[in-house]
Amino acid sequence: MIKIIDLFAGIGGIRKGFEIAFGSNNIECVLTSEIDKYAIETYKANYGEDNLYGNIKEIIEHDVPDHNILLAGFPCQPFSQAGLKKGFNDTRGTLFFDIERMLKAKKPEAFLLENVKQLRGHNKGNTLKVIIGHLEGIGYKVYVDVLAAKDFGCPQNRERIFIVGFLDHSVNFNFPVPINKSIKVGDILEDKVDPKYTISDKLWEGHKRRKEMHKNKGNGFGYSLFNENSPYTNTISARYYKDGSEILIEQKGKNPRKITPREAARLQGFDDNFIINKVSDVQAYKQFGNSVCVPVITAVAKQMKICLDKKVVKLNPEKSKKLAMVN
């Protein structure tokens, strides 16, 4: 049984990827930390209420149960193009150090951290260097790469940075390579969509006006239209609920429409069994915009599993030999 803790858990996208990679019966989440009350409702609906805590700053690190892997999609706003880019000068940026104190206290075998791609270049790369330096200072061998959702079966141009670490320095971890899978936006679209998702004449006119204004200024800002044959969409953001401008779906003879919450879930790789109706559409859009692409997490988790399995073979060769004979 692999024990995990799920920090800044959101709606549990990183946990979901690990359950798929390791098998849900082989994963036990011994602590979850999430502060947003609406995200907690969706999390509880899908995973139950066991070991669920709130603000990470109120969790005493030495009280955290022993675990094998620490998971954390720590807040990205300080490093995002859409944010103020204050980095560690932003209170949310310092939340990385809450991850650090957990790692120092409990020393799990491995960790996975996720953030926006912009973290790699923030402050000319110095912010990432500080993070890696702190992780290495605890004793971890650290690996970093940027992976895109569209390379792992989800029709979304979403790039995120992944930071993976192992206590065992003999581990030779490799990030997953893109899969060869044909994808299109039609793969995630629902057959029947409520007319309420069609944007109003006023909003559509506003979108077109702003698009033309940006065009005259020589930039490409403004709404983006997609159809079922588009290879992928833009990145869905937490602000999608406001006007849907980054992902609008063409409709014949009608104004474009926003994607539905279920389509947003599919765009992030959540299957249709994932419960999303415990909150409003506004909160659902926020949650999926803030979440992760599950197939990307699954691919990274599978590579981590290979390394952890090899470690078991190395430390327990006789036991592994017997298991191999049984299988």
Could you state, in order of their start, the residue ranges of all structural domains in the chain?
Answer: 2-181+289-326, 185-270
- Distance between CA 249 and CA 226 in Å, rounded? 5
Distances (CA, A) of 312 to 12, 181, 317, 318: 27, 32, 8, 10
CATH topology of domain 185-270: DNA Methylase; Chain A, domain 2 (3.90.120)
pLDDT band for 76, please (50, 70, 90 cuts): low
Helices 126-138 & 96-106 angle (0-180, nearest 10): 20
**Inter-residue contact 102 to 65 (CB < 8 Å):** no
pLDDT tens across 94-109, in order? 688 899 999 999 999 9
Considering all CA atoms of the chain, what is the largest pairwise distance in Å, rounded to the nearest integer? 71
Q: What is the pLDDT of residue 143?
A: 98
Question: Considering the chain, what is the average pLDDT of its residues?
Answer: 89
- Return the higher-pLDDT residue of 206 and 221: 206
Q: What is the pLDDT of residue 319?
A: 40
Q: What is the pLDDT of residue 259?
A: 98
pLDDT tens across 33-46, in order? 999 999 999 999 99
Q: What is the pLDDT of residue 290?
A: 95
User: Which DSSP string corresponds to 227-246?
Assistant: -TT-S-B----TTHHHH-TT
pTM for the full predicted model: 0.89
Q: Which residues participate in catalysis according to the annotation?
A: 76
Q: What is the pLDDT of residue 127?
A: 83
- Is residue 86 pLDDT above 80, yes or no? no
Architecture of domain 2-181+289-326: 3-Layer(aba) Sandwich (3.40)
pLDDT band for 186, please (50, 70, 90 cuts): very high
pLDDT band for 130, please (50, 70, 90 cuts): confident
**Inter-residue contact 187 to 230 (CB < 8 Å):** no
Q: Which residue's structure tokens are 């992780």?
A: 135
Distances (CA, A) of 33 to 10, 74, 184, 265: 9, 11, 35, 21
